[in-house]
């Protein structure tokens, strides 16, 4: 099956919100809450969707996952130069597409996009108490950078070093 990734449009706001909400509810039922409903509601994601920050992975034309790709993250990464990095947030895959193919496709796409933009690093963070999620990032090739307290969240920060284009 072919997985395609495209930029979400304002018409996709509900799709993005639904994918994020499904992931949030699944995690909540497993006892590892991540996002509150208000953080992934259509109202809360619509501005970022409109600004072109969200992307949707489609499996045979069906929305299977989403990711937020930013060129600045002063909240979780205030201590680094922003110019040489791209940042990932709000990464989620619908349960029926779990298993790694969609998440790997989204991460590979993000690496390629960051490389195209001339970035040296792709960076992300996750709850430090989520070993299975951390293992997903590490098995893809992300390296643990540091842990950081950000408001109520204690996160592990990860970076992926990008090879210059053409090398």
Q: What residues contact 85, with CB distance under 8 A and at least 6 apart?
A: 73, 77, 114, 119, 120, 121, 122, 123, 159
pLDDT, residue 32, reads 76
Q: How many CA atoms are closer than 13 Å to the CA of 15, on its beta-carbon side?
A: 20
Which residues span the domain enclosing 78? 3-161
Structure tokens at 133: 């999620």
pLDDT, residue 152, reads 84
> In a structure prediction context, what are the per-residue pLDDT tens digits for the chain, which is 167 residues long?
689 999 999 999 999 999 999 998 988 888 777 788 888 999 999 999 999 999 999 999 999 999 999 999 999 999 999 999 999 999 999 999 988 899 999 999 999 999 999 999 999 999 999 888 899 899 999 999 999 999 888 999 999 999 876 55
pLDDT, residue 163, reads 83
Query: Where residue 20 sits, what CATH number does that domain have?
Result: 3.40.630.30
Sign of CA dihedral 146, 21, 45, 9: positive
Q: Taking the model in full, what pTM does it have?
A: 0.92
The dihedral over CA atoms of 39, 137, 126, 7, expressed in degrees to the nearest 10, equals -30
pLDDT, residue 166, reads 56
pLDDT, residue 165, reads 64
- The closest alpha carbon to 88, from 104, 105, 73, 103, belongs to 73
Question: Angle at the Cα of 4 (from 3 to 8), degrees rounded to 5?
Answer: 130
Q: What residues contact 78, with CB distance under 8 A and at least 6 apart?
A: none
pLDDT, residue 99, reads 82
pLDDT, residue 118, reads 95
Task: Give the total number of structural domains in the chain.
Answer: 1
Q: Is residue 166 part of a domain?
A: no
For residue 160, the Cα-to-chain-centroid distance in whole angstroms is 13
Q: Is residue 7 part of a domain?
A: yes
Q: What residues contact 79, with CB distance under 8 A and at least 6 apart?
A: none
């Amino acid at each position: 099956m072919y997985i395609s990734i495209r930029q979400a449009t304002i018409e996709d706001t509900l799709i993005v919100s639904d994918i994020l909400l499904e992931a949030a509810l699944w995690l909540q039922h497993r006892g590892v809450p991540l996002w509150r409903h208000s953080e992934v509601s259509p109202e809360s994601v619509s501005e970022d969707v409109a600004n072109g920050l969200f992307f949707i992975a489609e499996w045979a034309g069906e929305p299977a996952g989403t990711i937020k790709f930013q060129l600045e993250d002063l909240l979780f990464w205030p201590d680094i130069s922003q110019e040489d990095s791209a940042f990932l947030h709000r990464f989620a895959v619908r349960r029926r597409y779990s298993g790694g193919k969609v998440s790997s496709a989204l991460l590979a796409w993000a690496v390629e996009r960051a490389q195209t933009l001339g970035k040296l690093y792709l960076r992300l963070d996750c709850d430090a108490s989520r070993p299975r999620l951390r293992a997903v990032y590490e098995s893809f090739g992300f390296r643990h950078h540091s842990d950081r307290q950000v408001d109520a969240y204690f996160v592990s920060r990860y970076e992926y070093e990008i090879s210059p284009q053409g090398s």
